[in-house]
Chain A
Amino acid sequence: LAKTTQPISMDSYEGQEVNITCSHNNIATNDYITWYQQFPSQGPRFIIQGYKTKVTNEVASLFIPADRKSSTLSLPRVSLSDTAVYYCLVGDPSNAGNNRKLIWGLGTSLAVNP
């Protein structure tokens, strides 16, 4: 199974930039890297997805090196409301296309302090 490794927890302060790095050594060549955010007692919410290099949207940036064995989610100027669990996900290499399945780890619990 595809597997991702990311820090269990991180601490930050309001206004800082937060970078969460994830390793995914056996990502399939045609697969994407996807990040989700989850608040307590809610379903996860999609943040960003990328295949290579850099992707940016209104809430985050995703940096992916050429070997694609890791990726970094960058959250600019975090606020208290960014306190959540962040999941880095890749697909199970044995299932591609429309049958793609995401493999969920424990995620990174980010605490933003005032």
Chain B
Amino acid sequence: SQTIHQWPATLVQPVGSPLSLECTVEGTSNPNLYWYRQAAGRGLQLLFYSVGIGQISSEVPQNLSASRPQDRQFILSSKKLLLSDSGFYLCAWSSSGYNEQFFGPGTRLTVL
């Protein structure tokens, strides 16, 4: 069976510090991978998605970046966090664009 892991579960970082969130998927090959952010009381905002290794599509211009160094690994990064980067970060995978997305447990990021 397939599983998706995200870490850390919670993170408190000062403004201007770097960020690295990691997501890994097990039990499937060549998945589509997605990074979302959800602010309190809001819907999900798609940040990045990837249909293959090294293929990253950015949805929102901002100070975040994503990389996919391996088939089942997706990393979200920032060089300098802003207060507005606070939120609930979710990684998801799907077998194709039309199939259901499976979400990880999420990372709660607070930028102070």
Q: Taking beta carbons and an 8 Å cutoff, which residues of A are in contact with B?
A: 32, 34, 41-46, 49, 87, 91, 95-102, 104-107
Bound-state CA distance A83–B110 (Å) is 26
Query: How far in angstroms is the closest Cβ of chain B from A5?
Result: 12
Also in contact, A98 and B32, with CB within 8 A (given A41-B108, A43-B92, A46-B101): yes
Q: Cβ of A44: which chain B residues have Cβ within 8 Å of it? A: 44, 90, 101, 103
Contact B100 A101, beta carbon cutoff 8 Å: no
Contact A101 B59, beta carbon cutoff 8 Å: yes
Contact B105 A104, beta carbon cutoff 8 Å: no
Also in contact, A106 and B46, with CB within 8 A (given A43-B92, A99-B97): no
Say what secondary structure dominates the interface of chain B. Answer: strand
Contact B106 A43, beta carbon cutoff 8 Å: yes
The residue in chain B whose Cβ has the minimal distance to the Cβ of A43 is B103
Query: How far in angstroms is the closest Cβ of chain B from A48?
Result: 9
Also in contact, A91 and B43, with CB within 8 A (given A42-B105, A98-B32, A101-B59): no
Contact A43 B104, beta carbon cutoff 8 Å: yes
Query: How far in angstroms is the closest Cβ of chain A from B48?
Result: 11
Bound-state CA distance A45–B103 (Å) is 7
The residue in chain A whose Cβ has the minimal distance to the Cβ of B106 is A43
- Give per-residue flags for B83-101: 1 if the beta carbon is below 8 A from chain A beta carbons, else 0: 0000010101000111011
Q: Of the candidates B57, B88, B90, B105, which one forms a contact with A99 in the assembled complex, judged by CB atoms under 8 Å apart?
A: B57
Given contact pairs A43-B103, A99-B49, a sample of 7 additional A-B residue pairs in the complex whose CB atoms are under 8 Å apart: A43-B105, A44-B101, A91-B98, A98-B97, A100-B97, A102-B46, A104-B43
Contact A98 B96, beta carbon cutoff 8 Å: yes
Q: Is B29 an interface residue (CB 8 A)?
A: no
Bound-state CA distance A107–B90 (Å) is 17
